Amino acid sequence: MANHLQEVIARIEKARIAYSRHQIIKLVAISKYWEDSQIIDLYQSGQRAFGENKVQDLKRKALDLDRYPLEWHFVGNLQENKINTLISLKPALIHSIDSLKIAKALQMRLEREGLRQKALMQINSAKEETKGGVAPEEAYELYHRIQEECPNLIMEGVMTIGAHTEDPNKIKESFETTQKIYETLPNAKILSMGMSRDFELAIACGANLLRIGSALMG
C-alpha cells in the first residue's frame, strides 16, 4: 500500500501544480474496507488522516489504534441515534451535514456536552436521488442558517460526491457547481471533492481535500 500511496501523492501533486502552485491539498484515506494492519502500514508511510463512513467502524478503529496519532474523519450519512457516540470520539471533521434537522440534533448534544465540532455541509451537486446532500439552490441559505442556529458546529466548508457517470464533463459540472457555492460562503476553508476515480478532475475545480480509498489499494 505504501507504493500506491506514493503513486497517488505524485498524481495529486501533478494536478495541484497544473491548477495552482499555491494550492494546499489534504488527503483523507478512506479506510472503511481496510484491516487495522493496512491503516498502520499507511501511517508508517506518512499518512495521518483517515475516514470512515459508519460510526461503529470509526469507534472500533479509533479505539483499537489509539496508540497511533491518527486524525479521524467521519464521511458517511449520520443518523440521529449515532450522534452521541460520534461526538464522544471527537472526530477532526464531520463531512456530511445534509439538513438543518441533523445540524440541530448535533448542536443540542454538543451544547449539552460543552463541545464544539468542525463540520462540512454536503451538497448533492449532481441532484442524484441515490445520494445525500443539500440541493445546490438551497445550499447558501442553509449553510448560513446552520452557522446562526448551531454555534457549537464550526462550519468549515462544503463537500460533494462527483456525478455517478463515466462522462467527465458531467462530473466536472457537479464539481464546478459546488465550487461556485463554496466561493460565496464567508470564512469557508474546505472544499472536499474528489475520490479515487475523479480526484484529478476535482483538483482542477479547486478541491483542497480529497477522500481516496480504492486507489490506495492498487
pLDDT at residue 119 in the model: 98
Q: Does domain 2-216 have CATH number 3.20.20.10?
A: yes
Q: What is the pLDDT of residues 145-185, one digit of tens each?
A: 999 999 999 999 999 999 999 999 999 999 999 999 999 99
Q: Are 191 and 182 in contact (CB under 8 A)?
A: yes
Mean pLDDT of all residues in 107-120: 98
In the predicted model, is pLDDT for residue 52 greater than 90? yes
Q: What is the pLDDT of residues 13-40, one digit of tens each?
A: 999 999 999 999 999 999 998 999 999 9
Q: What is the pLDDT of residues 185-207, one digit of tens each?
A: 989 999 999 999 999 999 999 99
In the chain, domain spans: 2-216
Q: What is the pLDDT of residues 73-100, one digit of tens each?
A: 999 999 999 999 999 999 999 999 999 9
Does the predicted TM-score (pTM) go above 0.75?
yes
